[in-house]
Amino acid sequence: MRIDRLTLTGFRNIGEMELSPCPGVNVIYGDNAQGKTNLMEAIYLFTGAKSFRGAKDREMVGLGEVKTLLQLEFFGEGRTQTAQISLAPKKAVHLNEILLDSSTKLAGQFTAVVFSPSHLSLIQDGPQERRRFLDTTICQLKPKYIRVLNDYSRVLAQRNSLLKDVAFSSYLLDTLDIWDQHLVRLSATITRTRYTYLEKLKQLAGEVYKGISREKEEFSLRYLSKACPDLADLSAPGLEEAIAEAVRKARREDLKAGSTTVGAHRDDLEISINGMNVRTYGSQGQQRSAVLALKLSECGMIRQLTGEEPVVLLDDVMSELDESRREYLLNHMGDRQIFITCCDPNYFRHLEDGKSFHIQGGAIYKVEEYGRPQKEENPCISI
């Protein structure tokens, strides 16, 4: 997977921009609030996922702009393809000039993995963030999983509503079994899918972390299910039976709480370094490196299952890393197209082969190439 050209119009603070990146490492640098993260956000939207910043469509339309258009030319599946996302005056998504009925239909067509400071919530926040991490990547690999998650959310909401209503209308208790069946079936599917994915991911993540830490630290992952503590010994039918039993045992507690206390929505991911929980005992550098290992191991998973290397988006990743770890990201990431944002040009002074773009006020001001003959570039708005 490779981006050949990106064109943005009226996107946040970017009025007009055309970017032609190199196939390797592309560094986007400049002061804060100049448009670096906006550029990364625009690229990520082409995966079919929502903004990694949690923004709604209308929040990405530039102030006073009547037209917001994102255009991508990329190489994937052995051919050059195009994608287009219009956010204003109305939303429309095209792939190879064909109108799609939803941006989620881009999932699996263009793949990218993103890291931003907000992803430190994987370590620092609660289980919801770690579940979202697993689900987001699985959705890129298996678009049908999106529907499973949506169905589960609907069933969970209906069951929670019923649990609250039973206190006022006891006859509704007879209908709870029906929702329990749906909850158990979908929960088993989600838990098994996550667990299977994680078992493949943890080996890749361990190798990536060894590279980042220069083999000084050991990285490990473990899926935690409240309903099924030992998933490794459970077949698919056995998993469904175990969850059904856990749901039955929790019914009294659920009725008292007015919410569902057992299911895939309560699962978690344990992340450890040298056998110690990184959330509790890890330094800032270790926590950032752990999240990086998780995000970069996504690349290996996507490559294994699709045959394509995803584009890597590393937003503001350099500031908390030592020079050795920065050098690893710049020069030892293999045959991948990478975009890295930072403020300080000194952070990429060891870049051996790639391209840098200096952004000011939502426009590209200067372009430099590394590891190949230099081209003269005049200050400009677009390249």
125 with 133: CB under 8 angstroms? no
Whether 373 has a pLDDT exceeding 50, the answer reads no
Question: Three-state DSSP class for 379?
Answer: coil
Task: Return d(Cα 65, Cα 46) in angstroms, integer.
Answer: 21
Reported as a pLDDT band with limits 50, 70 and 90, residue 372 is: low
Cβ neighbours of residue 252 under 8 Å, at least 6 residues apart?
none
Comparing 213 with 160, the larger pLDDT belongs to 160
> Does residue 38 surpass a pLDDT of 90?
yes
For the purposes of burial, counting CB atoms within 10 Å of the CB of 275, is it exposed (0-12), middle (13-18) or buried (19 or more)?
exposed
What local confidence, expressed as pLDDT, does residue 383 receive?
A: 31
The answer to whether residue 380 scores a pLDDT higher than 50 is no
Residues 6 or more apart whose CB falls under 8 angstroms from that of 239 comprise 188, 191, 192, 228, 231
Quick one: how far is CA 248 from the chain centroid?
A: 34
Residue range 316-334: mean pLDDT, rounded = 78
Q: Which tokens in the block code for residue 366?
A: 């200067």
Q: Which helix (H) or strand (E) holds 70?
A: strand 68-76
In the chain, the percentage of residues whose pLDDT exceeds 70 is 96
Residue 376 is predicted with a pLDDT of 43
pLDDT (average), residues 190-211? 89
Q: Which two tokens stand for residue 93?
A: 């998504």
- What is the DSSP annotation of 187-207? HHHHHHHHHHHHHHHHHHHHH
Helix (H, G, I), strand (E, B) or coil at 244: helix
pLDDT at 377 > cutoff 50:
no
The residue with greater pLDDT, 376 or 17, is 17
- Rounded to 5 degrees, φ, ψ at 6 are -130, 130
Contacts of 41 (CB under 8 A, 6+ apart): 12, 51, 52, 53, 55, 60
Mean pLDDT of the chain: 87
CB 198 within 8 A of CB 223: yes
Name all domains of the chain by residue range, CATH numbers in brackets: 1-111+308-383 (3.40.50.300), 118-288 (1.20.1050.90)
Q: Is 68 helix (H, G, I), strand (E, B) or coil?
A: strand
pLDDT reading at 145 higher than 80 = yes
Is there a contact between 247 and 266 (Cβ–Cβ < 8 Å)?
Answer: no
**Containing H/E element for 272?**
strand 268-273
Closest CA to 260 of 129, 174, 162: 162
Render pLDDT for 215-268 as a digit per residue (tens, 0 to 9): 888 999 999 998 887 787 667 678 899 999 999 999 999 999 999 999 999 999
Look up residue 344 and give its DSSP letter.
-
Residue 190 has pLDDT above 80, yes or no: yes
Phi, psi of 14 (to 5 degrees): -95, 110
Strands 219-224 and 268-273 turn out to be antiparallel
Residue 266 makes CB contacts below 8 A (sequence gap 6+) with 127, 226, 227
Q: Is there a contact between 307 and 210 (Cβ–Cβ < 8 Å)?
A: no
Token pair 């059904």 in the structure block, residue: 244
Cβ–Cβ < 8 Å for 6, 336 = no
Coil, strand or helix: which one is 226?
A: coil
Q: What angle do the packed helices 127-141 and 176-212 form, to 10 degrees?
A: 90
Q: Which residue has the higher pLDDT, 36 or 282?
A: 36
